[in-house]
Amino acid sequence: MKIGVVGASGYAGGELLRLLALHPEFEAAVITAGSNAGEEITSIHPQLSNYAGRKFENSDSARLKGLDLVFTALPHGESAKLINQLDSNQKVVDLGADFRLKSKEQWQKYYGGEHAGTWTYGLPELANQRELIKASNRVANPGCYATVIALATAPMLPFVDASDIVVVAASGTTGAGRSAKVNLIGSEVMGSMSSYKFGGVHQHTPEIEQATGAKISFTPILAPMPRGILATVTGKLNKNADVKSAYIDAYKAEEFVWVMPDGQLPKSSAVIGSNYVQMQVAIDEHANRVLVSAVIDNLGKGAAGQAIQNANLISGLHEFAGLTGTGLGA
C-alpha cells in the first residue's frame, strides 16, 4: 500500500517513518515537511538510514492524490486545512487534535479557533471502539496523555466515584514537539522536574473526559527524559470489588496492554520504541482509593505506533502488523 506522511520532520513524523520502514505492507511513498522541504530526511532524522538520499517534499495536497492512506502529523489546527483538499474517500489517520473532540465549546476553550469536526476516535482498546475504527476511513489518533490515562481509568469506573478521578502524569520532552523553547533546552530540563499547564488547563483534559465519561483533575509534569509517560491515576472506591481482576479481564485479549503481576511496577524505559502499555493496580486502603500506575512511549502508543495500529484496522490488515517489537529497556 502506498502511504503518505505529512509533517514528517517532527518527532512523531520521524517515528512514523521508522515504523513504516519495518511494516510488511505499507510503503512511505510521499514524505512531506513544509518548512524542511528539499532537505534530506537524514539531516533531520539521522537514525533513518533506510531513507538515505530521499528528501522531504512540499506539503501539497496534489502530491497525496491516489495514495492508499495518509498520515497527518501537523500542529493543532493545521490538519483540517490540508485534509479538506483530499478526496473524501481517502483513508486518513490524523495525529493532531483537530478531529478528536465532539464539543465545539471544548475545542474553542482548550485550543481556540474553528472546530473542524469529529472523526472516529482511534483508541481500539476502549470498549466497542475497535469495530467503529474498522468501519471508518478517517480516524482521529488520540493524544499521548489521553491514551495512557483513558486506558488506566476505564476499568476502574464501575467501582469508583467517576466525578473524583485524580491524575498526575510525567512526560518526556518530545511530547512538547520539536520547536525550540527555552524551558526545553538541556540546561533547563536536566536534573529538574516541573509541573506545567497547572490547574486543569491541559488540552487533553476534555479528550480524556470524553473518552471515559469521568471527571478528572489532571496535572502534567515535565520529566528530564526525551520520551515516555508515567501516569498515576486514582479514584475513590464506592463499592467492594476485586479491582485488579477487573483490569486483567478488561485487557486479557489485548496484545498491547499488559496488566503486570503483583510485585512488579511499570517503567517508562521498558516500553520505549514500542506500542505497548504496562500498568499495575493497587488499593490504597488508608485513603480507600484505587491506584493505577501506567506507562507508554509518547511517540509509540501515544502517537506513531497507535496511528499505524489504526491504519492497519481501517485498511483491513492484521491489527498488529509492524508493531510487535518490544521496548528497548534500560
User: Which residues contact residue 139 at a Cβ distance below 8 angstroms, ignoring those fewer than 6 apart?
Assistant: 92, 93, 94, 119, 120, 121, 122, 133, 310, 311, 313, 314
* Calpha distance 189→191 (Å, rounded): 6
* Calpha distance 115→77 (Å, rounded): 9
* Calpha distance 119→109 (Å, rounded): 19
Burial of 141 (0-12, 13-18, 19+ CB in 10 A): buried
Give pLDDT, residue 267. 97
Largest CA distance in the chain: 61
Give pLDDT, residue 261. 98
pLDDT digits (tens, 9 = 90+) for 122-149: 999 999 999 999 999 999 999 999 999 9
Give pLDDT, residue 188. 79
Residue ranges of the chain whose pLDDT lies below 70: 178-180, 182
Give pLDDT, residue 34. 86
Query: Do 313 and 321 form a contact (C-beta atoms < 8 A)?
Result: no
Give pLDDT, residue 180. 62
Note if 144 is an active site residue.
yes
* Calpha distance 192→223 (Å, rounded): 7
Domains of the chain: 2-118 (3.40.50.720), 145-297 (3.30.360.10)
Catalytic residue among 17, 139, 144, 165: 144
Give pLDDT, residue 144. 97
Query: Do 98 and 116 form a contact (C-beta atoms < 8 A)?
Result: yes
pLDDT digits (tens, 9 = 90+) for 227-263: 999 999 999 999 999 999 999 999 999 999 999 999 9
